[in-house]
Chain A
């Protein structure tokens, strides 16, 4: 998130200005997405890529706005019993078209029974989608691309982990920590992982922080990944 340097020195003011810019950008992106879809429906299959790209950008802006709003007004955080498997399934559904565009094989690994957790469902899904979109765009640009990304969940000694995993060591704690430090100053803070600003990773980080969760590096079988740890709720389990 950018710091205010010129607008009266208030970080809040700067966030609100960026929020307005994000809202404003949605309009041309909607025009592109809907016109591309209109073309698609009239027999122009080549427009699907454009529609998906515009739709992904719209999601990123929406998720950014959600992160800022939750940070500014934590009282809006509606906590409810959430099924992690269902959130991962919906996130996968949302990321499917983008993964196809980039030739990334998206897998869903939700084997195992996990009880509900207390979380902000919209926020959790938005974080996973932002993170997923950033990784889908990043994977093909890696030197030895292993174009597979897994949306997965597993138990760890800290709780139930939900995240995105790939066969790349760049998805590490060090990359994430360095990225966080560089985020405000560098054009490419996740240089080992992504050729872009990696905004999706930081949007996920912001949303999770606003939800009192953390984006962390973790392993899933032999894969490396980023995700978050959620606490199972025994009372909900009984229900």
Chain B
């Protein structure tokens, strides 16, 4: 069973996403902020990270920089699932993709649970 680290600041949404991913057969660890996420990642060594960019205190981008600074976490796929429209960071998308290893971007308000699960499945074809 693949492990997913879900970084979602809203408690109600986190619960819903967690249930949907768990129903799809994943083991999910959820946290609301970047600092807690680093600690959880250290304990669980996730196979994939689902990340909101708009977090409290540290942004999702800051989390990504820290996350990628650890050699063990260089290759873990990250799916950005955010309330920030892609058009707002269009110029930085290449950086997110190439340097920070973001594999997919989903605009949260228009992404259904099915689409989220499908994207995670795509990124974890073997382990799922």
Whether the Cβ atoms of B87 and A38 lie closer than 8 Å is: no
Specify which chain B residues have a CB less than 8 angstroms from the CB of A122 in the assembled complex.
Answer: 87
Overall SS of chain A's interface:
helix
Q: Count residues of A near B (Cβ-Cβ below 8 Å).
A: 20
Are A41 and B110 in contact (CB-based, < 8 A)?
no
Taking CB atoms, residues of chain B closer than 8 Å to A26 are: 83, 109
Interface 1/0s, chain A 1-44, versus B by CB < 8 A? 00000000000000000000001001101110111011001000
Contact with A58, one of B23, B87, B109 (Cβ below 8 angstroms): B109
Interchain CB contact under 8 A, A62 and B20: no
Give the number of chain B interface residues (Cβ < 8 Å): 18
Bound-state Cα–Cα, A34 to B90, Å:
26
Closest Cβ neighbor of B109 among chain A residues: A58
Q: Of B23, B87, B109, which is within 8 A of A76 by CB?
A: B87
Q: Does A175 sit at the interface, judged by CB under 8 A?
A: no
Contacts of B85 in A (CB 8 A): 62
Q: Is the CB of A31 within 8 A of B20?
A: no
Contact of A38 with B110 in the complex, beta carbons under 8 Å: no
Q: How many A-B residue pairs have CB under 8 A?
A: 46
Pairwise interchain contact B110-A59, C-beta atoms closer than 8 A = yes
Nearest-neighbor residue (CB-CB) of B24 within chain A: A41
* A30 B113 Cβ-Cβ under 8 A: no
At the interface, is chain B mostly helix, strand, loop or mixed? helix
* A41/B113 in contact, CB under 8 A: yes
Whether the pair A38, B20 counts as a contact (CB closer than 8 A) is yes
B108 CB within 8 Å of chain A: yes
Q: At the interface with chain A, which of B11-19, B55-63, B95-103?
A: B11-19
Complexed CA–CA distance, A78 and B86 (Å): 13
Question: Cβ of A41 and Cβ of B109 under 8 Å apart?
Answer: no
The interface residues of chain B lying within 8 Å CB-to-CB of A78 are 87, 90
Q: B94 on the interface (CB 8 Å rule)? A: no
B113 touches A34 (CB 8 A): yes
Q: Are A34 and B13 within 8 A (Cβ)?
A: yes
Residues in A neighbouring B12, C-beta threshold 8 A:
31, 35
Q: Say how far B6's CB is from chain A's closest CB, in angstroms.
A: 13
A34 to B20 Cα, complex, angstroms = 10
Looking at the assembled complex, report how far the CB atom of B60 sits from the nearest CB atom of chain A, in whole angstroms.
Answer: 16
Taking CB atoms, residues of chain B closer than 8 Å to A30 are 10, 13, 108-109
Is B112 at the interface (CB under 8 A from chain A)? yes
CB proximity to A under 8 Å, residues B73-114:
83, 85, 87, 90, 108-110, 112-114
- Contact digits for A32-74, partner B, Cβ 8 Å, 1 yes 0 no: 0111011001000000000000010011011000000000000
- For the complex, give the distance between the alpha carbons of A203 and B73 in Å: 44
Task: Say yes or no: B109 contacts A34, CB within 8 Å.
Answer: no
The docked-state distance in angstroms from the alpha carbon of A28 to that of B42 is 32
Restricting to A148-196, which residues have a CB under 8 Å from any CB of B? none
Inter-chain CA distance A97–B112, complex, in Å, is 13
Contacts of A23 in B (CB 8 A): 83
* Cβ–Cβ contact A38 & B113, under 8 A: yes
B87 near A34 with CB under 8 A, answer no
Which residues of A lie under 8 Å from residue B13 when comparing CB positions? 27, 30-31, 34
Q: Could you pull out 27 A-B pairs where Cβ atoms are within 8 angstroms?
A: A23-B83, A27-B10, A30-B13, A30-B108, A30-B109, A31-B10, A31-B12, A31-B16, A34-B16, A34-B112, A34-B113, A37-B112, A37-B113, A37-B114, A38-B16, A38-B19, A38-B20, A41-B23, A41-B114, A55-B110, A58-B110, A59-B110, A62-B85, A62-B110, A76-B87, A78-B90, A122-B87
